[in-house]
Structure formats: structure tokens, C-alpha cells
Amino acid sequence: MPINSGLPARFNPASYDAIVIGAGLAGSTCARRLAEGCGWRVCVLERRPSVAGNAYDFVNEDGILVHKYGPHIYHTENDRVHQFLSRFTEWTDYQHKVLANVHGTLMPVPFNHASLRLAFGPEKGERLYAKLVDVFGKDKKVPIMDLRAQGDPDLVEVADYVYENIFLHYTMKQWGKTPDQIDPSVTGRVPVFVGDDDRYFPKVAHQGMPKDGYTKLVERMLDHDLIDVFCDVDALDLLDLSKDRVSMCERVYGGEVIYTGAIDELFGSDMGDLPYRTLDMRFETLPQDQFQPVATVNYTTSEDFTRITEFKLMTGQVVPGKTTIMREYSKAYEPRSGQTPYYAIIEDENLKLYRAYRGRADDILNLHPVGRLAEYRYYDMDGVVASSLELSDELVAQH
Ligand SMILES: Cc1cc2nc3c(=O)[nH]c(=O)nc-3n(C[C@H](O)[C@H](O)[C@H](O)COP(=O)(O)OP(=O)(O)OC[C@H]3O[C@@H](n4cnc5c(N)ncnc54)[C@H](O)[C@@H]3O)c2cc1C
């Protein structure tokens, strides 16, 4: 089925068994599973001109495949999710590595054996490493609070270094916080890796990048005789939730509605706006083969941006003589400004507001919120797909 722009003049929601709002990974997974599992006709409405939601990628004017809404690295322990997604793509064998730029020195993150040598010099670094191996064993991920708990001044020194140079300033930039506003329980979980593996997701069962990109993956997922996709359509212009019923195009809708947009927007934010962080992403193509040693370099002690991504190093695309990089600047999201809400701010007050909206949504029996915006939480792609498969299972079982 082609991906359409806008709705046909005689659009009739009643001719569909389910309406899916949003063509990101959540909506697309539900659409496919319901079309296959129930034999339903499914209509997908997407506000943007493109499918794949925040995982959308495209070839830019310089011929380089870039991720418009931030770099996405696929990794999962979930075999079912992996099997499902692998129906729509082959994977590259990309293994993600991250370096931190600490006052101009690049060192692996999570902080490991090599980082210790770079931070403290070879001799002292080796001595500290030997002590870490002695206390915790080799190839272990140890939170810095466990280092502090030992009461050994050497291990406290390592914990303090990691806190100050890898975590603190980066987190302040990312979340716009002062040090005293950062939750100590989060701080304590910052890990040190006692070993040499410098991969960001060591030992994860499945890791890589979709061979032809995420947009192609999602397009193939939506390519089914029973699925119609309409982009450039804001479903909230068609949807009415008054009287605890879903109406579409001014008629009560009896099918199932899967909603993957922001849950506060669903109710016109009438109880207040759920706060988010947004990102200002600045892309630049440089006349050189390569800009940095790995795909992601975090700026943990300097600069206003949090990190630089170099896409070719992630996608494996070969384009000689030029490379596209992207700097990420984090800032507070302003509702109704056209900005993209990226990261939910998981704090008690916000969760209370989320639960109030969620309770209202749950009172409407044929309305099903799913995905990162509708569930107001940070989800990796595999988590969103898992949650969408679970919801679809329930609907398939009911019908
Ligand atoms: C900067 C960044 C980097 C990330 N990196 C990774 C990573 O490396 N690895 C990883 O696994 N995950 C990563 N993620 C998480 C990943 O983006 C999400 O888990 C996943 O894309 C969420 O899918 P979704 O369908 O729930 O939401 P989205 O992708 O946001 O899709 C929701 C869709 O609904 C549409 N929509 C909303 N409201 C309406 C409406 N009223 N009418 C019509 N359409 C509507 C939106 O336009 C959007 O297309 C990252 C996230 C960010 C922000």
C-alpha cells in the first residue's frame, strides 16, 4: 500500500476496524500485528510527512544517511522483538562505542581499564585497575556508589573522578539542572566497567543497524494489503473524546483506536502540560572522510552541546571526501511551539499528572495509549515494540 499525503475526500473511518494514530515504531508495530493477527483493515494517521516517528532517517543533500531526530542504535535482549523487526530488515554488525571528551582527552564510556590509564596516567591507572579487579572481579559493571561504599580512598577517588568528569556536567547540560537538583540515586548508578571491553552495549543479545535504514524498515512493516497510511494528517483534528466515547469525523467510532501521540494533547492539555526536554540538532557536512574516531563523542566537561554524532561511522555508509556530523543542544520544551518533545522528565509531580490523564484515557474502552509519548516514559525502540506487541496480543485475544 502506498503512503498517502492527506486524506481522500470520501474518507470514512467506519470502513476501518482500527485507527492507529502515529506511524512511529509503536503505531506501525500495532498496525502490522492487528492486520495480520485479526485480519483487520487498519488506518494509520500520521501528522508528519514521513513514517518511522523519531527513528526517521533519510539521505541528505550531501548523499549521507542521517537520523533527523537524533542517532538511533538498535540493541535488544528481547528475542521476540528481534524476530519481529528482522522480518522487515537485515542488520549490520555495528557495535556501538562512545568516547567522552574530558578536557580534550578522549576516553571510553562506560569508564573502563583504558579510561583509567588515560585519566590517571599509565602507572597509577594500572594500580587502580588492579585494585578494582581485586575487589570486584574482572568484566564487571560496578556502580560508583559501590566503589564509594568500600571506604577505600583509591576507589573513592575513581568514583569522584567519574562523577565529576563523565557524569555531572553532561547531566547538567542534558537536563538543565544544578548539581543539587540531581537525584543521588541516579548519580550512584553511574557505572565503571572493570575490564577492557569498550562497547557501549557489551554482551547484548542483538545489536546493529537496519541495513537500509529505519525508514525503510517501517515502510516495509506498513506495507500490507489491509493497512492504509495517511501522512500530513493531525488525528486530533478528527478525534473527539467527549462523553467518554471516541468520535472520528463527528461520528461515534466503534473500532479500536491506538494512540501513540502525547497523552496530554489528547485532552487539550486541560489539566496542564506534561514537561519534556527537547533537542536543538545542528547538522553540518564537512569536506573530509572522517571527523572523529567513533560515531558518538560525549562532551562531558566542556562545550554547550552534549555530544557529536558522525552518521557514517554508525551506518557504515561509504562516502569518500565528506561526512555529516550533528551537535545536540538540550533545552526545555515549549508546548505548542512546533518543537519536538524528546525526553519525558520523570519526576513525581509529572508522573502524577500523567496518571491523571492516563486514568481518563483508560475510562474509554476502545482507546489504547501506547509508546513513549502516550505512556510518558523513556523507552528504547525495542521497549516500544515489545509494549506494542503486548497491546496487540491483548486485542487479538479479545477479538
Ligand atoms: C535523541 C533520541 C535518541 C534516541 N536513541 C535511541 C537509540 O539509540 N536506541 C533506541 O533503541 N532508542 C532510542 N531512542 C528512543 C526511540 O526514539 C523511541 O523509543 C521510539 O522511536 C519511540 O517510538 P514511538 O512510536 O513510541 O514514538 P515516536 O517515534 O515519537 O512516534 C510517534 C508518532 O506519532 C505521531 N503523532 C503524534 N501525535 C499525532 C497526532 N495527533 N496525529 C497524527 N500523528 C501523531 C508523531 O508525529 C510521531 O511520528 C532515542 C530517542 C531520542 C529522543
Q: Residue 1: pLDDT above 70?
A: no
Distance CA 63, CA 59 (A): 5
Distance 258 CA to ligand 1 centre (A): 15
Distance CA 71, CA 89 (A): 18
Distance 343 CA to ligand 1 centre (A): 10
Q: What are the residue ranges spanned by the domains of the chain?
A: 3-94+209-272+344-398, 99-194
Average pLDDT over residues 301-310: 96
pLDDT in tens, 168-183: 999 999 999 888 888 7
Distance 145 CA to ligand 1 centre (A): 32
At how many degrees (to 10) do helices 153-162 and 122-136 cross?
110
Write phi, then psi, for 133 (nearest 5 degrees).
-65, -40
Q: Which atom of ligand 1 is nearest to the CA of 54?
A: 29
CATH 1.10.3210.10 is held by the domain 3-94+209-272+344-398:
no
Distance 24 CA to ligand 1 centre (A): 6
Burial tier of 7 (Cβ tally within 10 Å: 0-12, 13-18, 19+): middle
Q: Residue 264: pLDDT above 90?
A: yes
* Across 136-140, 186-190, 387-391, least confident range: 186-190
Residues touching ligand 1 (Cβ under 6 Å) are: 21-27, 45-48, 53-55, 70-74, 234-236, 260-261, 279, 342, 371-373, 379-382, 384
Task: Specify the pLDDT at position 233.
Answer: 98
Tell which residue, 348, 353, 306, 314, has the closest CA to residue 331.
Answer: 306
| pTM, full prediction | 0.96
Distance 106 CA to ligand 1 centre (A): 30
Q: Which atom of ligand 1 is nearest to the CA of 370?
A: 26
Residue 340: what residue type? T
Distance CA 229, CA 20 (A): 9
Confidence of residue 275 (pLDDT cuts 50, 70, 90): very high
